[in-house]
Copies of this chain bind each other. A is one copy, B any other.
Amino acid sequence: MAMTAQRAERADAARNRRAVLAATERLLAEGGGDHVSLDRVAALAGVGKGTVFRRFGNRAGLLQALLEERSLELRQGVADGPAPLGPGAPVRERLLAFLDRLGAIAEGNAVLLTAHEQACAEDKFTDPSYLFWHGHLSGLFAEGCADLDAEFAAHAVLAVFDGDLVRRLTPPDDPRHFTRSVQRLALVLLGDG
């Protein structure tokens, strides 16, 4: 009975949403994460400040949206994509495939990561992205090892995805170094050194 279809997003609204995300992206690239004030974002996007807030709620929402955009593909791949990322492969392979992709996202978006951590503050752990990653990792650890509390192991692995730490552990000449370290860490936790 319920009319589920709300009126589609208005064309100008969609255009502005894209403009705001693009502006945020550019400001993040230019200066550090604290260089991105919402005033500036609005100005660069050529919209009013109110627009930014109506669309994204607050600073955290804006950064979260950008991060979600970056990780949507991985999320789908994990949920129902082909193995080894998706269901079907052995735990060890799924774990490595997952961390390979997540690591790539982190390495390519360290500044965004930092900004998001700053903005989220309190509810970093109730953010839907975090919950999804954590759920996936917990599941894999629970299936693969009994040694360690799987929930804790998942938190421990994700804790290492700190924007500043990622930057610090990513030398310019080896952009995948961080990822490999995380993969090794996860294997050790899985009891498969």
Contacts and interface: CB of A to CB of B under 8 A. Distances in A.
Interface of A: 32, 34, 114, 118, 121-122, 124-125, 147-149, 152-153, 155-156, 159-160, 162, 164-165, 168-169, 181, 184-185, 188-189, 191, 193
A22 B19 CA distance: 47
Identical copies in the complex: 2
Contacts of A189: 185, 188
Interface residues of A: mostly helix, strand, loop or mixed?
helix
A150 B153 CA distance: 18
Contacts of A155: 160, 165, 169
B32 A147 contact: no
B122 A164 contact: yes
B124 A164 contact: yes
